[in-house]
Structure 1
Amino acid sequence: MLQYEQSLWGEGFTSIAGVDEVGRGCLFGDVVAGAVILPPGLVIEGVNDSKKLSEKKREQLYEVIASSAIAWSVARVDASVVDDINIKQAARLAMKIAVESLQVAADYLLVDAEKVDLALPQQSIIKGDATSQSIAAASIMAKVTRDRLCVGEWEEQFPEYGIAIHKGYATKLHRERLLQYGPSSEHRRTFLRKLLGEESTK
């Protein structure tokens, strides 16, 4: 999980930020990005792609990463912006804001399968959250942040949709609730047009 970082440390980079996003495929809510700079040489046991970890493990690692990182940040881009500029650009915007919000400036970016629109040297790594500790750490910070929104703020605001259960993804329950109640102000309209059109014809 440190192959990319070790190579860059050898080249003299000391503030390598891993960058990743979560919520790209959701029907509801913000896309959330994380950026994490870990101390050179630090190994955090158990860090992996956030999707491969249990909720309990993610929460535990969130605290470890938050306390041991040189710097970390998360950034949110809401559903209205997703609709305005499309999900790919919204995810890239969230990543950019996350990097810009770091308390310590990054000198290199390792990014999960994307490019960040900043004049920084960077590498886009396919499945980076499974091969780079820095990217995996960023995915964990973003995932825990978004899940906390789902079970807290968003569940309280929109209890009829079951956001705490499906986290905004297009599950059977979510589709049923959408057909029953219609979309909320936090649903991504561009994601729903095709989905609701298909469902209404069944």
Structure 2
Amino acid sequence: MVSLPAVTPDWAFEREHWRRGYFRVAGVDEAGRGAWAGPVTVAAVILPGSAMDYPFRDSKQLSASQRDALAGEVRRVALSYAVEHAWPDEIEQLNILGATHAAALRALARLDPAPQALVTDYLKLRVPLPLTAPARADALSYSVAAASLLAKTERDRLMGDLDLQYPGYGFAGHKGYGAPAHRAALHTLGVSPVHRRSFAPIRALLDLPAPLLVADTGPEQA
């Protein structure tokens, strides 16, 4: 049996909304906000408001196999869930925070039944709903932990796909973050269509006369 981290979420933030009559509380979390390439991915999840214990934990505390198993359990038990992406073109247009908010609003709009209140991991969305946005909510709230599992596993899957489409960058391993191997690949291969051109390390490379940009043969960025 796989052991889970000692830090366990609870229902404290959701319970505050339940007391005010808001029983469908959506947890919201993102993955990939600090990466140099690929989308920022946002998930929204409404769990049954029964105050039962779940094995869901902050995705950063778990192994890949644990995340995959628990993400499947989230999909099985959730009243509603949705995952949305903001690709580099939207990130360039709105900046990373604006793109994260836009993806979060798209995910929330897809929830059926719709949420009556939100708990987010310090993501202060402008929504006409009661909102609690504490720091480290992905480690403290079952709903946000569930969202973190969906966001992380779905983004990891996409980065594996991008690794096949743009071989040599190592996307499947570092997931687009600023690992030494990623930096080395950028200097060798240049900047791909799925890199975030507004991020400082990518801007610095684009100011160089070489190498050339990789031809745009990538997926639809929507």
Q: TM-score range by the shorter chain?
A: over 0.9
- Quick check: 1:179–1:196 contact (8 Å CA) kept in 2? no
Matched, 1:129 2:114: no
* 2-structure distance, mates of 1:20, 1:155: 24
| Alpha-carbon distance in 2 for matches of 1:23, 1:48 | 18
Moved more, 119-128 or 22-31: 119-128
| AA at the equivalent of 1:11 | R
- Whether 1:185 and 2:204 are equivalent positions in the alignment is no
Question: How many Å separate the matches in 2 of 1:141 and 1:36?
Answer: 9
SS at match of 1:161: coil
2: CA distance, partners of 1:146 / 1:195: 25
Are residues 1:168 and 2:185 paired? no
Unaligned segments of structure 1, at least 5 residues: none
List aligned pairs for 1:45-64, cutoff 5 A: 45-64=54-73
Alignment of 1:77-156 (within 5 A): 77-151=86-160, 153-156=161-164
Higher helix share: 1
In structure 1, the partner of 2:44 is 35
TM-score, normalization: structure 1?
A: 0.93
Counterpart of 1:174 in 2: which secondary structure?
helix
Cα 1:44–1:183 change in 2 (3 A) is farther
Size of the alignment, in residue pairs?
Answer: 198
CA shift for structure 1 position 140: 0.7
Indicate if the aligned counterparts of 1:112 and 1:135 stay in contact, CA closer than 8 A: yes
The CA distance in 2 between the partners of 1:139 and 1:20, in whole Å, is 5
Shift in Å, 1:195: 6.8
Q: Deviations over 1:39-98 (max 9, x none)?
A: 012545331111111111110111100010000000011011111211111111111111
Instruction: Note closer, same or farther for the CA distance 1:166–1:18 as it changes in structure 2 (3 Å cut).
Output: same
Q: 1:43 to 1:61 in 2, by over 3 A?
A: farther
One-letter identity of the residue aligned with 1:24: R
Percentage of pairs with the same residue: 37
Identify if the C-alpha distance between structure 1 residues 197 and 53 changes in structure 2 by more than 3 Å, giving closer, same or farther: farther
Unaligned runs of 5+ in 2: 1-9, 211-222
CA distance in 1, matches of 2:118, 2:205: 36
For residues 54 and 45 of structure 2, what CA distance do their matches in structure 1 show?
A: 16
- For residues 131-182 of structure 1, what are the alpha-carbon distances to aligned partners after superposition, in whole Å with 9 as ceiling and x for unaligned? 111011111100000001111x211111111100110000000000000000
TM-score by length of 2: 0.85
